[in-house]
Chains A and B, each alone.
Chain A
Amino acid sequence: EIVLTQSPATLSLSPGERATLSCRASRSVNDYLAWYQQKPGQAPRLLIYDASNRATGIPARFSGSGSGTDFTLTISNLEPEDFAVYYCQQRSDWFKFTFGPGTKVDIK
């Protein structure tokens, strides 16, 4: 099973700042890495797929990068609605689609 680790566990920032979230895989997932956002009481929402492609309707301030084992989600200019929990997920291991433990972005 591919294990994903995310860092930091919590990121405390102010609106307008830049957020940089990391996801590391226990072995290469090529670029088969997605990012999801989840707000309290809501279902997760797909933000980024295949490492760097924004999903439909996702603002340009969200960007993804990386390949192999190291990936980054960047939120360039935090809006109030961006404070949430972010999860990465790999789809390299077919039908063993593991998630990372999440990074909470909260207001400083």
Chain B
Amino acid sequence: EVQLVESGGGLVQPGRSLRLSCEASGFSFNDYTMHWVRQAPGKGLEWVSGISWNSGSIGYADSVKGRFIISRDNAKNSLYLHINSLKVEDTAFYYCAKDIPLDSWGQGTLVTVSS
């Protein structure tokens, strides 16, 4: 059974940094493109970033380019999202998801940016 478990969210002040993690199990992690998708409370879904199986191809939504860094460690079956210079508008649930289309999702981790 595919499992994706996000962690690293919490309450953070504007301007600070945060690293989110996603631990994967139940599938061959190093065979799949992985993604981060976020959802502000009460709002719709926004694809944030994706990374190919070997980290050779990476993409970001225009809204986060330059502040977000996606990475992965295939030896640890883990996906990461480093968020710099956090803004209030980054407040959201952050989901990791497998492949494209996004066929498996974690339960999300909530990032709240507030002073």
Contact = CB atoms under 8 A, between A and B. Distances in A.
Is B a genuine binding partner of A? yes
B105 A44 contact: yes
Contact of A46 (B35, B44, B60, B102): B102
Contact of B101 (A1, A46, A94): A46
Interface size on B, as a range, is: 20 to 34
A59 to B, nearest CB: 17
Contacts of B58: 95
Nearest to B50: A95
B106 A43 contact: yes
A43 B107 contact: yes
A21 B115 CA distance: 40
Nearest to A49: B101
Interface stretch (A12-20, A66-74, A75-83, A97-105): A97-105
Given A43-B95, A87-B45, A89-B47, A95 B101 contact: no
Nearest to B93: A43
B89 interface: no
A96 B107 contact: no
B1 interface: no
A95 B59 contact: yes
Interface of A: 1, 34, 36, 38, 42-46, 49-50, 55-56, 87, 89, 91, 94-102
Interface of B: 35, 37, 44-47, 50, 57-62, 95, 100-108
